[in-house]
A and B are shown apart, each in its own frame.
Chain A
Amino acid sequence: MIAIVDVCSGNLRSVEKAVAAAGGAATVTRDGDVVRKADKVIVPGQGAFGAFTRGLAERDLEAPLREAIARGTPYLGICLGLQVLFDESEEQGPQRGLGLVAGRVVRFRPADHALKVPHMGWNQVRRVAADPVGDAVADGAHLYFVHSYHVVPADPAVTVMTSEHGVVFAAAIRRDNVFAVQFHPEKSQRTGLALLEAFVRT
């Protein structure tokens, strides 16, 4: 069973339906024991970084997540589920993240006024490393992004895909059993479903 972790109220239904369409059996949960026992874990997230980390604490989900990741449970982070892995975010902060991947989360500050923030819409990704899940997405594919902050890994070797919005930023990262993306596979039509399918299968 795949646990879709309900950290904050938001659009978890879309993730649940997309995983089902990708052939996965998933349950939305805020129960730490379910997270601990899950075969795979998906952490979606939208909204503010601080509200997200507070949600993790208030729902006693931080320890179960850390345990699941430490045990090698395949993890898929989406949007804030990517950002929260890092040391800290400058959003309303700095605010501390889980520190599982070294690096920071910073705001887009495009010099060109034509580039808007939030970075919202379909952007192309560049593949920079092979990955069992990431390989489902072709180089140059379009995926749906909506975010104002992006991750800056301290070790560039974790970066699997990049995209560009004024700066080239990490769009997908891998560290052992942890794979996480800035875009929304659940909103990226066939391309997104292919990625979810790869995660379900691996």
Chain B
Amino acid sequence: MLTRRVIPCLDVMDGRVVKGTAFVQLRDAGDPVEQATAYDAQGADEICFLAISASPEGRSTIVDVVARTADRVFVPLTVGGGVRSVDDVERLLLAGADKVSINTAAIRDPLLVRRAAERFGNQAIVVAVDAKRRPADGGPPRWEVYSHGGRTPEGLDVLAWCARVAELGAGELLLTSMDQDGSKQGYDLALVRAVVDAVTVPVIASGGVGTLDHLADGLAVGGADAVLAASIFHYGHHTIGEAKAHLAARGLPVRP
């Protein structure tokens, strides 16, 4: 049986991990390669890098980070942040990324998803969707797509957008709730469930994890294929191994 995936995410700016110094056991806690290696050793099913930088020069340093990580980490790597073109996708794949995540650029030019998928295969193209809840007005819940790291409303319905990018060739969706992100209150489970039911491609739930039960809920209640989290692992609250043991105890299939 296909297991559910646990994916730690590292925010990388100018070649350094942005958040804190939780990995006290590492010589260089700010080095994304060292942190990725530690997650790999803990049993991470994949590792996600998100490049967050104001400048294209700053973002380009992620290519070097990916290359150095791929030299020693033999689990899949997903990389996103500032990906604007087929050339950007290619640079990251050649450096050793397995999947490249596109967000704002897909909203500006949805056919970029198709061009990238035709060139590199659906399996290599992830579309990241940042979703924010809209007032329901008594009806069923609705969510709107946001761009630019969750700052700009795009007037797109999340479910329709997810279905469209899957149709265009996205092999996977990385779904982040902007309402829950950073809250430590758990995923927006209604959002995860609605998207999972709307598409046939795998969905990674993201945004809001504060406890191991939140991870389990994202899979068991939301129906996600994978769960992504940053701070719960980053600050050493829990190891990936603890997370997997918890998921297994809740009856979810995980890779030991």
Contacts and interface: CB of A to CB of B under 8 A. Distances in A.
A146 B225 CA distance: 13
A202 to B, nearest CB: 20
A19 to B, nearest CB: 11
Contacts of A48: 118, 121
A120 interface: yes
Interface residues of B, number: 40
Interface residues of A, number: 38
Contact of B96 (A14, A21, A118): A14
A188 interface: yes
B222 interface: no
B202 A14 contact: no
A117 B255 CA distance: 19
Contacts of B202: 116, 118, 120-121
Contact of B123 (A13, A114, A115, A146): A146
Nearest to A52: B121
Contacts of B72: 17, 21
Interface stretch (B1-9, B106-114, B139-147, B207-215): B1-9
Interface in A1-51: 9-11, 13-14, 17-18, 21, 46-48
Given A11-B97, A47-B120, A118 B67 contact: no
Interface of B: 1-5, 40, 45, 67, 70-72, 74-76, 90, 93-98, 118-124, 171-172, 197, 200-203, 223, 225-226, 255-256
